[in-house]
Chains A and B, each alone.
Chain A
Amino acid sequence: MSDERKVYPDNSGIHARKAVGKRQRAALTFAEKLAALDDLRARVEPINRARKQRGRQAASPPATGRN
């Protein structure tokens, strides 16, 4: 086993930028936020559709050709 101390990257800059982004988005007008919500939903829609389809496929047993 190595005695070398593992050096991890400093993520504080990333977290700080994320916090700034959050504050900037929070400062949008209500109408702008509503538009962002519509946009978010549209982007997630294909994922939700695919998930539902997978669920339906899992629920219906594969055809065996027998009755």
Chain B
Amino acid sequence: MAMQKTIEVVIRLVEKRVIGNYAIAGAVAALNYIQPALTEDLDILISVGDFERRPSGLLLLGPIEKALADMGYMERTDVGYRIEGWPVQFLPAASPLEEEALNQAIEIDVADAGRSPLMARCLTAEHVVAIALNVGRFKDLLRIQDFLEQGVVDLKRLKNVLERHDLTGKWAAFCVKAEIENPL
């Protein structure tokens, strides 16, 4: 049960060309910027092209499912495929914001210190915040507060992302709810 190994399997899927563009998203992406917090699963944002598309428009994970089965990962949980003990959700980029987040993802080293680097793609802090704002659950808003408190967001870049994706109204509402002065 090691998240590091789970991410290694995702990297192997990329090496096998089962997945093209991808990025670690959600709570594990947030981990790159703020303190660790408990999560149930690993979210992997991938491009729609990596899904099998049915004529009805339905998106299926056929190729990914098959590759995982070939690698010995056949168990499914209610929140995704179980890989090295962790449920993994492969999420298609479902909006222009998520598409942009995917394309602008950064490379991070997930290997232990002193070992050869193992690079994985991860969402930028600004996109983690923008997506959290857009989803808007209580835990997402708390995450935004952590990002702001720890000063890990480039506010100018965040402002641009929010403006591009029409999220400034939601941002203003968040500031009111969080009882903070709008830092943008």
Q: Which residues of chain A have a CB within 8 Å of any CB of chain B?
A: 19, 22-23, 25-26, 28-38, 40-42, 44
* Closest A residue to B32 using CB positions: A30
Alpha-carbon gap, A41 to B108, bound state (A): 23
Chain B facing A: main interface SS: loop
Alpha-carbon gap, A32 to B115, bound state (A): 13
* Closest B residue to A44 using CB positions: B38
Total number of B residues with any Cβ neighbor in A under 8 Å:
25
- B7, B36, B111, B152 — which one has the most chain A CB atoms within 10 A of its CB? B36
Chain A facing B: main interface SS: helix
B1 touches A (CB below 8 Å): yes
Alpha-carbon gap, A41 to B4, bound state (A): 14
Point out the residues of chain B lying under 8 angstroms from A34, CB to CB.
Answer: 2-4, 7, 28, 31, 110
Among residues 70 to 127 in chain B, which have CB atoms less than 8 Å away from a CB atom of chain A? 108-113
Known pairs A22-B146, A30-B110; list 17 more (Cβ under 8 Å).
Answer: A23-B35, A23-B150, A26-B33, A26-B152, A29-B112, A33-B31, A33-B36, A34-B2, A34-B7, A34-B110, A37-B3, A37-B28, A37-B31, A37-B39, A38-B2, A40-B38, A42-B1
